[in-house]
A and B are shown apart, each in its own frame.
Chain A
Amino acid sequence: MTKEEILDILQQIKDPEIPNLSVIELGMIRDVEVNAPNAVIVRFTPTYSGCPATTLIKMEILQRLKAAGVEHIEIVEQLSPPWTTESFSPQALEKLRQAGIAPPHPHHKKGEDPPSLGIPCPYCESTDTKLLSAFGTTACKALYQCNSCGQPFDYFKCH
C-alpha cells in the first residue's frame, strides 16, 4: 500500500462529534509512514485532553486499515506541537458551516472567552448573534443563538 492509499482510507474516518469532517481535515493525523507493504505507522494527535472521541477514532483507524489488508498498524500519539484549530483548511471551515457549526473566528484570541456577540450564524450569516454558554455540547464548542433566524448553533472555539 502507498501512503496516498492509506490517506484515502483515513479520509473516510469522521469525528463522531463533527460527522462531516474527516480526521485528516481536522488536523488529527500528523503523518503516515509506510515502512513495508503491510506495516504502517500513523502519527495521531488528539484534540482536547479529555476528548471522548479519541478512543473511538483510534479504534476506527485500526479497523479500517485492517480491513484494507494492513497487517502491522502502529498508532503513535504525538502530542507536540499541541493540536490547534489553526490547522483547519479553508474547505474544513466551509464544511463546519455546512454542518451548522460556526468555525473559529479570527477575532477570538486563543485562551480568551468566546466573544459575547457577533459570531456569524452558520444558517443565515447574520452577525446579530449572542453567546449562550462558553461551554457547549462538547469541550471544543460554545453555544450561541442567532437573533435574526432564531436558530441556536454551536461555535468551534479557537484552540
Chain B
Amino acid sequence: MSKTFDTSTPSPASTLDAKIHYLFQLADNALIMGQRLCEWTGVAPELEIDLALCNIALDHLGQANAWYEYLVEIYPHPTDVDQLAFCRDEHQYYNITLTELPNGDFAQTIAKMALFSIFNYYLHDALRKCPDARIAAIAARSYKEIQYHRRYTSNWILRLGDGTDTSHERMQRALDIVWDHAFEAFAPSPADRIMHQHGIAPDLEQIKSLWEHEVHQLLHKATLSIPETGFTGYRAKSDGIHTEHMGYLLAEMQYMQRRYPNLQW
C-alpha cells in the first residue's frame, strides 16, 4: 500500500492554508528543479558543465530543504521534511510545469533553467524584502545563489544562440519547446493572490514585466527569436494538475522513501 499524504486543499480556506500552499510552490519548484538537474550528474557534455549542474542542483535541494523546514513548523499535523518532500502524491505538488519538463538535450536544459532562474531571481529579490522574517531570510540566502544560476544560464543562451548554425538551431528549438510553460509562473494561484494581499508575495504582473524585459533582451542579444506564446493555462501550481512527465519523475524520486518508509541514512 502506498502512503497517502494529507495536504492542504487546492483552494485555500484560510490564510494558513494559503501560506502553506505558497510555501509548497516555492519548495516544490526548488525540489523538482534540483531533482531534474541531478539527472545530468556524470553525463553532462563537459566536466565543467557537470560540476556546474551538480552544484546548481545542490543549491536547489538546499533551498527546498529550507522551505520544507519552515513548512514542518507551521504545518497543522506533525510531519517532517522527508514526508513533505517524498511522500505526497502527484496532485499535491505545486511546482510550475516548467520545472518538471524532461532535460532533453543540453540546450533544452539551459532554456528551462534560464527562463526559470530569471523568474526566480526577481521573485526572490521581492521575497527577501517581505515582512515575514523567515521567508525573507530564506529568500535572501537563496537569492545569492540564484544570481549565479541566472548568470550561468544566460551566458550559455548567448553562447549557443550566437554560436554555430547547429547550436543556434538547437537553442531556438529548445526555447520553442519549453516557452509556454514559463508563463504558468505569472498566472496567480489562489495562494499567490492571498499572499500578495498580505503583502508577502509580490505582484506577479510586475515580476512578469521584469522577466519579459530581461528575456527579450537576452534572446535578442543571442540572435534568437522570441517564441510565439501558445497555451499558457497550465495548472500545476494552483491545482496540482501536472504534465505527463511528473509521474515518472516522482516514481524515481520517491522510490526509496516509499519502499522503505522512514528510512534513515
Contacts and interface: CB of A to CB of B under 8 A. Distances in A.
Interface stretch (A30-38, A96-104, A107-115): A107-115
A79 B48 contact: no
Contact of A80 (B47, B133, B145): B133
A80 B136 contact: yes
B141 interface: yes
A52 interface: yes
A102 B145 CA distance: 20
B144 to A, nearest CB: 6
Contact of A83 (B55, B62, B141, B147): B141
Contacts of B56: 135
A110 B147 CA distance: 9
B35 to A, nearest CB: 13
Residue among B52, B63, B140, B141 with max Cβ neighbours from chain A (10 Å): B141
- Summarize A's interface: helix, strand, loop or mixed: loop
Interface of B: 34, 47-48, 51-52, 54-63, 65-66, 133-134, 136-138, 140-142, 144-145, 147-148, 151-152, 155
Nearest to A47: B141
Q: Which 4 A-B pairs have the closest CB atoms?
A: A50-B62, A49-B62, A111-B147, A50-B58
A82 to B, nearest CB: 4
Nearest to B151: A113
23 contacts: A49-B142, A49-B145, A50-B63, A50-B65, A52-B58, A79-B134, A79-B137, A79-B140, A79-B141, A82-B140, A82-B144, A83-B141, A110-B144, A111-B144, A111-B148, A133-B51, A135-B48, A135-B54, A136-B51, A139-B55, A139-B59, A143-B48, A143-B51
Contacts of A39: none
B48 A132 contact: yes
A41 interface: no
A149 interface: no
What DSSP secondary structure best describes chain B's contact surface? helix
Most B CB contacts (10 A, CB to CB) among A49, A82, A112, A113 go to A49
Contacts of A111: 144, 147-148, 151
Q: Which residue, of B65, B142, B145, has the highest number of chain A Cβ atoms within 10 A?
A: B145
Contact of B155 (A81, A113, A138): A113
Q: Which of A50, A81, A138, A139 is the most central at the interface, judged by chain B CB atoms within 10 Å of its CB?
A: A50
Most A CB within 10 A of own CB, among B133, B137, B152:
B137
Contacts, number: 76
Interface residues of A, number: 24
Contacts of B51: 133, 135-137, 143
Contacts of A112: 151
Contacts of A80: 133, 136-137, 140
Contacts of B147: 110-111
Given A111-B144, A111-B151, A133-B51, A49 B137 contact: no
A133 B48 contact: yes
Contacts of A110: 144, 147
A48 B140 contact: no
A133 B44 CA distance: 14
B148 A49 contact: no
Given A49-B142, A80-B133, A80-B140, A134 B58 contact: no
Contacts of A135: 48, 51-52, 54-56, 152
Interface in A139-153: 139, 143
Contacts of A50: 34, 57-63, 65
A50 B144 CA distance: 12
